[in-house]
Chain A
């Protein structure tokens, strides 16, 4: 590589700057580093003006042996792509900044372990550093003790035998799930998205995992899952309460990709000024309608979505969304997103044009979406295009709750269970009626109290006299 550096490849750069070896300098607290023999590889400064570098590619992969002077990584500067070489022998333990990402000059882009045994130590060290995102790196010895717990790599491996069976058992050549069969692009995408292919169900020829499966799985794990309130939401399609999950008590578990996305969206939602308006709706008429048409495959979810969509059609402002904070958009279609709990999270399949599509088609569509969601095969347009969200916890007996507004939409409605309630009527009589409470959370920048109130009034009218729903 030395010839490259001495060449006239960048005629305008002074020779001194062209000499670009990484300086995997020892860590600040030298004593620990010497003990653990883990060095950090920093983003080099390839020119005097460079503040940030983009990793074009990692020449070496994690676990590869490195000799002093060997190129490790290709960094893009303003003039050309430069190969960057290692100053030390060792093993590339952990790549912190992946290909295609940028890092500022001097920041750690990878860790170098002196021996193979220390690779896992280095990995766990990164995790600790990253998850606590503090300057305090625990002493190496301590890290080593806790590493089996904090290392998701180890955990994933031990779980793999179970996961694999579900994943690729359909593939004839997967030998009972011992192998993952994925197309080149699917593999590439999974690597970019940090997705474990063993958990992905393939829809390609012979059950092979193709790019869209990876995209669907990744989306299911992030965006689509994120919008709904943490405590709220979730319609368990099966309707049964989940079995108590088996967890190791007292452990700290790093966020999965999906949990990270949820976390990010929840924090983002705090930037939106929201308020809530509740309403109690009598559902006797709706319940009897449901009983009549249930045999035709109509579901309660479809009924509720249809009713909501019809109400929204009369109150376009509730179906609007405000993104920049300076203007808002009256959405052209009414797409009702409905939260569904799936293994390890939740997703919001979207019933598009719910005001226009007839109830029976809507019910069929819903069934299809739920099946796809369970198979993690929803396409992005099937879970990201919602303009209004429904979240129903009624099947758990919840009578009322509060949902967090998904960023990018105007309102979300939390639906409780419909319960027989003792009701006094205007003429002084007392009776039992089925009533459910709904609670709408909305973005007050665009939707005001009166808007929600009149929307809910319309909705109540539709539900209490549901003949329009079947039109």
Chain B
């Protein structure tokens, strides 16, 4: 049966939209590589950048072979815990999923491993990192995304049988991507311990500044740019009209999502600027960059279902969450070179809670029921939507922390670490030469 012209138009437009969003998300790999490179000492720059490249290339293989299947596989027997179909993209494309969807999800999957590499930077054996990255992208992360984003997932808001009548709303992955990456990084970092010299003999922290602030800013802006694919692109399709309106559809939701994203990051950046000025006495560009990113991480969960003014609230709180967690980390002698656990884990968790408080019913119905009339859904507590959504969000946080802690820990216990008190870092010994100054 020939495809109708009308269907061709619709699919072409949706594919263009999703593919270009996927390319933007892929740019975030570059952004994160630059952020990492600039944030570590010069002697470890090659190492951290190689881990970022490796995340992309190794993750591609594992996600293609089985990661995508675990995440979105729906065969005749759909399983709420893990997918069981589409291994090595068998039976793709079909009426539900095309290659563009796989590519988009692949771009997300490789982002997760990148996050974790930040926590364990400057002291992790490369061979261990390879194994860990393969496993995280191919198994740990896809299972979580199955729970939340597959229509058979037990926590998914698109499931036919909604968890406590709601399902958890994690639109582009504050939990699925950022919390997963952050908690995995937490365990790696805890088990490895701080970098040599990070805390002195009295337990006081010794600053270990990154070697290139320009790369940090470059990376931050590239991540911001890519986030315009990460958040709005999660609609998957742009050509879906809302039946109760005359000229609104996913294109409206997509645009609104881009706006909430920009506002949350902006607010978090400004609040961090002034917050840190109060705390440390100067205007710190690197802290502002991290603050901006924390705002994006937080809004990622609810970007499509909240009003723009709520996104400002989200960014405001996320800035303080990050500042607070950083202070706690120092007190507990926890060393995370990129603050990845605090930023992705902490702000990610806040983002999920934020959604449970501020989601607007009209938008929830637009996103998850294509704006059908007569449908009602639990929504944000502060907007009068009851406790079910917030409850689901909390369950998601607990489930992710639990799952994430069991899986990588088994790998982590076997992690061996190069420990050196003085002299060359990992880059020189393992790569043969160091970056020039």
> Is the pairing of A and B real?
no
B residues with a Cβ closer than 8 A to A are: none
Give A contacts to B, CB under 8 Å.
Answer: none
